[in-house]
Amino acid sequence: MPRDDLALSSSDDCPSTPPVGIFGRLLMALFQGMPFLFGIGFVAPLIAQLLERMVPGTTQAQWPLVAGLAIGGSWGVAANLRGRWI
């Protein structure tokens, strides 16, 4: 059963793949950068919301979001480079 983030076969896997248009290339770039986008788009606000709930008096503070972006963004970049989340 497929997960949310779909695999795109590399060109090595399918030598007969027809040439892709600009939309296809954009889509491939989007999926290739998906771990980073996931880090920024989901992990960052998740961490921020967790910190706001766990640390008293942080509801209006900016630092939980900054921490979320730093952790989520760097985790996403690392996942992008390594091909694994952990």
Contact with other proteins (CB under 8 A) among 53, 55, 63, 66: 53
Structure token pair of residue 37: 């986008």
Q: Give the H or E element holding residue 81.
A: helix 63-82
Considering the rule CB under 8 A, would residue 63 count as an interface residue with other proteins? no
Q: Residue from 4, 22, 23, 57 that binds other proteins (CB under 8 A)?
A: 4
Work out which of 11, 14, 29, 55 binds other proteins, going by CB under 8 A.
14
Nearest 5 degrees, angle CA 23-CA 25-CA 26?
65
- The amino acid at residue 14 is C
Give the largest Cα separation in the chain, rounded: 58
Give the footprint of other proteins on this chain (CB under 8 A): 1-9, 13-14, 27, 30-31, 34-35, 37-38, 41-42, 44-46, 48-50, 53, 79-80, 83-86
